[in-house]
Amino acid sequence: MKKSTQLYLITLSVVIAIIAVYTDNKMLHYIFKPVSTLLIILIPILFAKSNLGRYKNSILIGLVCCLVGDILLMFDSYFIFGLVSFLIGHAFFIYSFSIINGFAFKIKTLIPLLIIAGFVFINLKDHLGELLIPVLLYITCIVLMAWQAINLYVWKKGIWVFTNFDWSLFVFSIRFYFGLRKIYP
């Protein structure tokens, strides 16, 4: 399969999953949300360079954790477990992005992420109740993941890094969006 075909299938699956949420079609949502993640899991399996063993493996572990999180978050009673699964997945992504060049401390790339995360947290905090600490931890983990992905992209634009810059911004915005949808139904 060509990479462009894979990306097309992912886009189509994600669009169907989003439409399912907006049209309250639970069956489509239950099918296409995990299918979207499964299709994303295939990217490093099918297209990663062979010399990226540890990087590729930790990305795959993170993606599998996110798949579990996707499935758990479909059910309100498993919200915390889904959040923890994503937290573990994003911790693997942070680790992955630091394998190649170490953990980067570039403040310029952190500031925009902190502004966005701060805005989201300020708008959520009064509605979180007992979820305040878990959501704060989750936001912190997403910011760290996006920060390291962006730093890796800036440091080495030529390496296959799971298109980490675009991917991290996509995950950063989608996770916050669906987090808002979960708290503000």
Residue among 155, 162, 169 nearest 41 (CA)? 162
Residue 45 confidence (pLDDT): 86
Q: Is the pTM of this model over 0.75?
A: yes
Task: Strands of 28-147 (E only): list them.
Answer: none
What's the rounded Cα separation, in Å, for the pair 2 and 87?
Answer: 31
Query: What's the mean pLDDT in 2-10?
Result: 85
Query: What's the mean pLDDT in 101-125?
Result: 87
Domain boundaries, the chain: 1-47, 53-183
pLDDT tens-digit readout, 132-179:
888 888 889 889 988 888 887 776 664 444 444 445 455 545 554 555
pLDDT tens-digit readout, 18-31:
899 889 999 999 99
What's the rounded Cα separation, in Å, for the pair 95 and 110?
Answer: 17
Residue 182 confidence (pLDDT): 55
